Every structure is written in structure tokens, then in C-alpha cells.
A = this chain, B = another copy of it.
């Protein structure tokens, strides 16, 4: 059982260790954290905490470091979140409004801001519809006599393009008509649907364009856009002082590897913030890592914001900041519509 005093000590151990990255000694807690018991008492309590699995020992004559259970308990019941202050909120919103451009620039900027705010790697994904991506609109643009550019606007607002060769040359006006014909037929089609409808078309160019559209829709389904920043800052943390570990971290944080990590939280609701700590991670080669993750957007079209770092993470800072950024993005997304 975790008595109140032991809980206090556990909390202090976590805080101290997160701050200093050095094993925490009983003496350090008494001296620097103002516990009004002697270090011997703290030692006794620490021994109990160790028995119960909340903290561990790197070696006999070293201080204690939190175990994953220790962090979990801390996050769950001991920690007081450090709210995002008015000043910081201003800075963040100000930075967010710096960018004039499209959604991509905005997402990439968000990753940068979040990474800066928490000092770890931040990952942001573009909002996606949960349903299979459907077509919203097609457009054909004349490039030259025998090629046109097919542009598909998807229901989540993303664009896909492809060059389509034309059997018979067509003017822009004719292309426009073809696009109108296809839009009428393929409205809100998904991949297989579009493919089926394409088969019915008699005109060769209509049919090949419809097939190209079907391919675009299918490609779009699988494609996820991920924005990542903060790698080089995160690597400055002492856990990566060893070059092997650093190399490992770089390889691990390649965006395509993070996908699976983030997909695990796809079922979270907007507003909910999840924390996955060390051994709780599905991938067992990520035992030394933690993720704080939140979804933003509507249930129909949602994206992910996450912070990835070593288990020794300032959870009380990270969690509210991930939550804040996620809510901000949800809001901005709604404003856009």
C-alpha cells in the first residue's frame, strides 16, 4: 500500500530525477526538497517503494530512479499539471498565426512550436476522415495536346494529381465537360466504386480518366502526412549521450516508424490525452520511450498531435501542452470551415 508519505517521496523522486537526470539520493530529497524527516527515514521508505516496484536502483551505492510503474503512478495520481500560462498561450497563438500558407505549413509549424514548448520530439499528422477517403471533385487541366492533369479534391480537403494521356486531343473547354461528366458519375465514390463506374464508360478517354481517378482515390486512402520536429533538441538529453543510443533514436524516430505508434491512439477522442510509458508501449524495442498523444478535430476528420521522448519526461508540462495545442488546432480547423 502506498502511504501518503511514500507517495510524497515517490513524487519527489520523480520530479528530482526528471530535472537532474541523476539517480536521487535520500539526502538530496531531504536537503533540496525540504522533507522534514531524516535521510534514514527516507531510506527506509525508499526501500519499501523499491519492494513495491515504484523505483529502482542502477547499482548498490546509487540513488533511486523511478520505474515505469513509478512514472505511471506519478502521472495518474501524484502530479499537478503545470498549466499553459497566459504569456505562453500568447506566444503560441502568435507563432501559429505567423504562417500565411496552406494546411501543410501550418501543421509543420505546429510540430515546431510544440517541440519547442516541451523540448522533445513533436509529431503532428494531418486530419484524415475515418471513413475510407471519398472523392469530392475532379478537375482536368490542359497541359498540351495529348496530356491533361487530373486533379482530385478528396473529402478531407487534400489534393491528388496525376497526368493522364489523351487518346484524342481536347481543348480546355472539352476537358471541362469531361470533368463535369465524371463528377456527375463519380460523386462521393470510393476506390472500388470509381473503378466499377469506370468500367461502364464508353468513351476511351472518359474511361481512362475515371480509372486514373480510381487510382488516385486508392492512393489517397493509404497516404498519411506526418510532420515531425525537435529531433536535434531531444537528442541533447543525457539519455542519448552514448552514440549508440543516439543513433538508435534517430533511426527509431524516422517518420514511417512512428506511424504504428500513433495509430495505436487513433481511437482516442478529441480532448482526451493519452500517455504511454515505457513498457506499456506495444513495440517492445521502445521500452525506454514515452508518448503523450492527443487527437484533434471532429470525429469525422481527426488528426494526431504527439510528443515522443525518453520515459524521463516532464509529464506535468508535456501533457497540458499537448492538450492545449490539440484543442487549439481543433478550434482553428473549425474556424477554417
Partner-B contacts on A (CB < 8 A): 100-103, 136-137, 139, 141-144, 147, 149, 151, 153, 157, 159-163, 172, 176, 180, 215, 219, 223, 231-232, 235-236, 240-243, 246-247, 250-251, 254, 336-337
Contact = CB atoms under 8 A, between A and B. Distances in A.
Given A232-B247, A232-B251, A243-B240, A102 B160 contact: yes
A172 B223 CA distance: 28
Task: State the number of copies, please.
Answer: 2
A142 B137 CA distance: 9
A279 B162 CA distance: 43
Nearest to A139: B139
Contacts of A136: 141
A250 B336 CA distance: 35
Contacts of A223: 101
Given A232-B254, A240-B243, A246-B246, 9 more contacts: A103-B161, A137-B141, A143-B157, A143-B337, A149-B157, A151-B153, A151-B159, A157-B161, A236-B247
B139 A219 contact: no
24 contacts: A100-B215, A100-B219, A102-B162, A103-B161, A136-B141, A137-B141, A137-B142, A137-B172, A143-B157, A159-B159, A159-B161, A163-B337, A176-B176, A176-B180, A231-B250, A232-B251, A232-B254, A235-B247, A235-B250, A236-B247, A240-B243, A242-B243, A246-B246, A250-B250
A100 B223 CA distance: 12
A99 B103 CA distance: 25
Contacts of A103: 161
Contact of A101 (B157, B219, B250): B219
Nearest to A144: B337
B243 A163 contact: no
A216 B110 CA distance: 21
Contacts of A336: 163
Contacts of A219: 100-102
- 4 nearest CB pairs, A to B: A232-B251, A137-B141, A139-B139, A232-B250
Nearest to A248: B232
Contacts of A153: 141, 149, 151
A163 B159 CA distance: 13
A236 B247 CA distance: 7
A231 to B, nearest CB: 6
Nearest to A223: B101
A301 to B, nearest CB: 12
Nearest to A155: B143
A172 B179 CA distance: 13
Most buried by B among A172, A232, A235: A232
B232 A337 contact: no
Contacts of A144: 337
A324 B236 CA distance: 38
A3 to B, nearest CB: 42
A77 to B, nearest CB: 36
